[in-house]
Structure 1
Amino acid sequence: MVIKPKSLLKNKALNKWNLFWLISGPISIFMIINLLAVDTSTGAGISEMIQFSVRWAVPFVYLVIATSSVQILFPGPFSRWLMRNRKYIGLCFAVAMAWQALFIFIMSYFFHEYYYSDVYYFRDEIEGSIGYIFLPAMVLTSFNFGSKLLTPKQWKLLHTSGIYFLWAYPFSVYWWNLYYYENPVLIDYVFYWVGFVAFALRIVAWGKQRYELSKRIDPNYKTPIESKMLGGLFIIFGLLVSASGLYWQDLITSLFTCFSMVRRT
């Protein structure tokens, strides 16, 4: 008996709450297994668990931010399945981040000397705190009882700004891992470029929507050649900048540092 992919994607086990438990359960199991394997009596061990939990969380936030774009660019059974389960995929991200929050609390409370001497950066603290403000608010308003507290415009503003921030934070972390810190590992490259593609899909989907809107208004509409050339140059520039941070990071950092020093004086 051959199971068709379309039928498989409609299976109850792969949809909504069943999908959530199917993903979040193994996430928690792997967290516990890794927790038992590391030395949790040291700050370094808890720091390893923080990194481990983030690596489980990042793919889900990338998937959430790309879902609507995939539906626009590649309509079909799989993209409809993604749209149908976007909330539950986002909740899986929240589960992994809840584990990270637990390990951060353990680190800051029980290993505060290690935390402030080896881990703490004020910038990361601010960015992480903003993320942990957005995330609970987005989770609560994903359900009817929470969404009723907001107007449709407020709900859209919260979830749009929140998902962009939750995408940008890990994406920037992996950018720094590649172009600032020494000895990046394979997972840094993977998560950086997957995050780049996820956001690029949104840009392309936005362009497609704009084009289709123009075609509905004027069936004879054609994109001006100047716009095509400008868009192509913008894409090439973005790819070059994204792939060459190793060569311009020091210059840009020094320029901003000099600017901030002038402002202070």
Structure 2
Amino acid sequence: MNKETAFRYLHGWKLFGLIALTVVAFTIGTMQLYPDWVDSVRSAIRVTARTSFILFLTAFVASALAVLIPSGFTRGLVRERRYIGLGFALSHLVHAIAIYTYGQLNVEFWPARNWIANAPGSTGYLFIILMALTSFQGPASLIGPVAWKRLHATGMWVIVAVFCYSYFMRIPMDSVYAIPYSILAAAVVVRLLGKQAQAVRRRQSALAASQA
């Protein structure tokens, strides 16, 4: 089965269902490794942070990859970006539930945090909710195509900033966080290069059309 055939089979809600099943299975499977409930929930926070990162990264670079490396696979990523994005929203919903549960189990968790510490994550979640809601036809039609495009473009960069901040602040405590931080930085470069390449193609097409 080639990559285009795989994407045709895992189209739309089937792909979302597979993503949802994978996220839940990884979360439950990881939790089973820890007999202590607090450690188990903490592991759920970690695993959903990683699944969310992978899914967001895929949606973030999809259009740029389709421009820079055109293929059936990259075009498939663009076609299925909505469902990948909704999969990311689901993963981060599970992540939020795990954080809330951990806060209930560890009474020192929430008092140790303040609004400044919570602001980046809360802002990110606000945009995730808005972007997920406007991924459906009704809300998208309500706000119009221009506002939709601005919301999703802004939301993408806000979430990138939140991820960058989160990983960067953890590097002094554990250097392993430099890896996802570097990956995210590379993804930003890929996206910007994709936008630049797309702009160049549009100018070339406009020039060719004017000379025809």
Normalized against structure 1, the TM-score is what?
A: 0.71
Which residue type is aligned with residue 207 of structure 1?
Answer: Q
What residue in structure 2 maps to residue 70 of structure 1?
A: 65
Residue number among 181, 204, 208 corresponding to 1:192 in the alignment: 181
What residue in structure 2 maps to residue 8 of structure 1?
A: 6
Which residue type is aligned with residue 21 of structure 2?
Answer: G
Residue number among 78, 93, 112 corresponding to 1:98 in the alignment: 93
1:34 partnered with 2:30? yes
8 Å Cα contact 2:32-2:40 kept in structure 1: no
1:110 deviation in Å? 4.0
1:194 deviation in Å? 2.0
8 Å Cα contact 2:56-2:85 kept in structure 1: yes
Structure 1 stretches lacking a partner, 5+ long: 220-265
Q: Which has the higher contact order (CA 8 A, sep 6+)?
A: 2
1:30 deviation in Å? 1.6
What residue in structure 1 maps to residue 132 of structure 2?
A: 139
Which residue type is aligned with residue 212 of structure 1?
Answer: R
Residue identity (%): 25
Q: Deviations over 1:60-113 (max 9, x none)?
A: 111111011111112221111001100111111111101111012223334332
CA 162–39 in structure 1, closer or farther in 2 if over 3 Å, else same: farther
Which residue type is aligned with residue 33 of structure 1?
Answer: G
Normalized against structure 2, the TM-score is what?
A: 0.87
Which residue type is aligned with residue 38 of structure 1?
Answer: Y
CA distance in 2, matches of 1:47, 1:137: 27
Which runs of structure 2 are paired with 1:96-175 in the superposition (5 Å)? 96-117=91-112, 120=113, 122-175=115-168
Structure showing greater Rg:
1
Equivalent position SS for 1:150: helix
1:41 deviation in Å? 4.1
CA distance in 2, matches of 1:59, 1:4: 22
8 Å Cα contact 2:31-2:43 kept in structure 1: no
1:6 deviation in Å? 3.4
Calculate the aligned-residue CA RMSD, in Å.
Answer: 2.1
Residue number among 211, 217, 225 corresponding to 2:200 in the alignment: 211
8 Å Cα contact 1:64-1:86 kept in structure 2: yes
CA distance in 2, matches of 1:81, 1:149: 27
